[in-house]
Amino acid sequence: MPPTSRVRSRASCACLLLLLGLPAFAAAQIVPSTPVTTAGGRLTVSGEMSASLSGHDEYYFNYSDYDYSMLRQVRFDGAGAFRVGPRLSLLADVRVEGAVGGGSWRVRPYALFVRLRPWPRREVDVQAGLIPPVFGAFSRRAYATDNPLIGFPLGYQYLTSLRHDALPVSADGLLLMRGRGWRTRYGVGNPAPDHGVPLMDGLDYQTGVEVHAGSEPIEASVALTAGSLSVPSLDTAAGGVQVSGRVAYKPVPGLRLGASASHGPFVARTVVDSLEGSGLATSNGQTAVGADIEYSFGYWVLRSEAIYSRWRIPAIAAPLVSDPLRAFAVYFEGRYRIRPGLYAAARVDRLDFSDITGNAGTMPWDAPVRRVEAGGGYSLSRNVLAKMVYQYNWRRGVIERRAGLASAQLLFWF
């Protein structure tokens, strides 16, 4: 990043804290710092508001689509849980988000499901509707209050060059889009340029049914949902559902081990329909496995997670994409509490891709990415937190891209 850009980025972060810090601190004195319970204890309402600002991410390392950067957005989550009876509850979360510095705003239901406990004395829950994903560990702490930094791990956010609604005609077409996950164009399916997909979409919930059983030291979940990890959408291939599951084990206090797996349709229904009769429509699906570990002791919390994903897409023309496309993401994260209300954190992250062969040679089907993110947070009050973070990214491709981004976030919750 040029010196002038660094100065401008730091000044922007300081302005964000100055402009938003005082109003948020004042709001914290008025709004309760804990969830609000009413209707005789049957209705619980909570909320989270975050405002993030950084320098311009000109190489789109942090974009979740073409409009939204994880480091430059304002987001509000309003959640409610209504206990209908001792066995049945209704839960909802509405999200409002917009890009800092322009762009559209959107309002959408983030979660909307019923939770049934068939046997009050047993640790078994059934959830149906727009439900939280069961795969992975970071998906359970994707809210800003649970993320010690500002950015997401690469496996949950970074846009690969692969799309579910448009397919490359050949290996050459896929290699041409390496490192351009924010805006890719292919010859089969939707002709409009659009963003690619991450290994796992950490920003959207899935429509389906989940069964969760157990508590400490061991618990397990299994879900049947629409779409796949990359595209939790009803738009994927007709007649297929995603099956996903997770098992977590806590052998001793402070240590948690987890394993996840999933398989589901990936290619959009419109593309599958266009390939009917060609014998290619069956090459469609995403399979993923994951492992995670968390260990806390003293003032430390250490975490690591790995995701391996494999996509099968139709091999249409030579040079063929005949083998599954593979990707592997892993991160290591640590947080240290310096004193009450003050902590430091860091995350080291990498994302790699398997090789395919085109007319220009053999190379990874997308450009490998590395990320280092470090910073900290300070509690201005019980429910107001300010974060300052520096993130460095580099992407290896035909042209190597590097970007250092200073960012700030102000977070308020109740």
Q: Is the domain defined by 3-413 classed in CATH 2.40.50.100?
A: no
SS3 of the chain: CCHHHHHHHHHHHHHHHHHHHHHHHHHHHHCCCCCEEECCCCEEEEEEEEEEEECCCCCCCCECCCCCECCEEEEEEEEEEEECCCCEEEEEEEEEEEECCCCCEEEEEEEEEEEECCCCCCCEEEEEEEECCCCCCHHHHCCHHHCCCCCCCHHHHCCCCCCCCEECCCHHHHHHCCCCCCCECCCEECCCCECCCCCCCCCCCEEEEEEEEEECCEEEEEEEECCCCCCCCCCECCCCCEEEEEEEECCCCCEEEEEEEEEECCCEHHHHHHCCCCCCCCCCEEEEEEEEEEEEECCEEEEEEEEEEEEECCCCCCCCCCCCEEEEEEEEEEEEEEECCEEEEEEEEEEEECEEEECCEEEECCCCEEEEEEEEEEEEECCEEEEEEEEEEEECCCCCEEEEEEEEEEEEEC
pLDDT at 31: 54
Q: Which residues face 264 on adjacent strands? A: 286
Give residue 281's pLDDT. Answer: 67
The pLDDT value recorded for residue 177 is 95
**Per-residue tens of pLDDT for the chain, all 414 residues:** 444 444 444 444 444 444 444 444 444 455 566 789 988 889 999 999 999 999 889 999 999 877 789 999 999 999 999 999 999 999 999 999 988 876 678 898 999 999 999 998 899 999 999 999 999 999 888 788 899 999 999 999 999 999 999 999 999 999 999 999 999 999 999 999 999 999 999 888 999 999 999 988 999 999 999 999 999 987 776 668 999 999 999 999 999 999 999 999 999 988 988 887 676 767 789 999 999 999 999 999 999 999 999 999 998 999 999 899 999 999 999 999 999 999 999 999 999 999 999 999 999 999 999 999 999 999 999 899 999 999 999 998 767 899 999 999 999 999
- The residue written with tokens 């891709």 in the block is 353
Q: What is the pTM of this model?
A: 0.90
Residue 303 and residue 240: Cα distance in Å, rounded? 34
In angstroms, the Cα distances linking 262 to 47, 360, 389, 414 are 31, 34, 33, 34
Residue where the block lists tokens 């509490």: 337
**What pLDDT is attached to residue 142?**
78
Residue 411: count other Cβ atoms within 10 Å of its Cβ: 24
User: Tokens representing 376?
Assistant: 């900290």
CA-wise closest residue to 243 among 285, 271, 298, 213: 285
Cα 334 to Cα 144, 294, 349, 367: the distances in Å are 16, 10, 12, 27
Domain boundaries defined on the chain: 3-413
From first CA to last CA, the distance across the chain in angstroms is: 37
Amino acid type, 107: V
Q: What's the CA gap between 43 and 34, in Å, rounded?
A: 14
d(CA 156, CA 159): 9
Contacts of 245 (CB under 8 A, 6+ apart): 134, 135, 220, 221, 222, 223, 260, 261, 262
The pLDDT of residue 32: 60
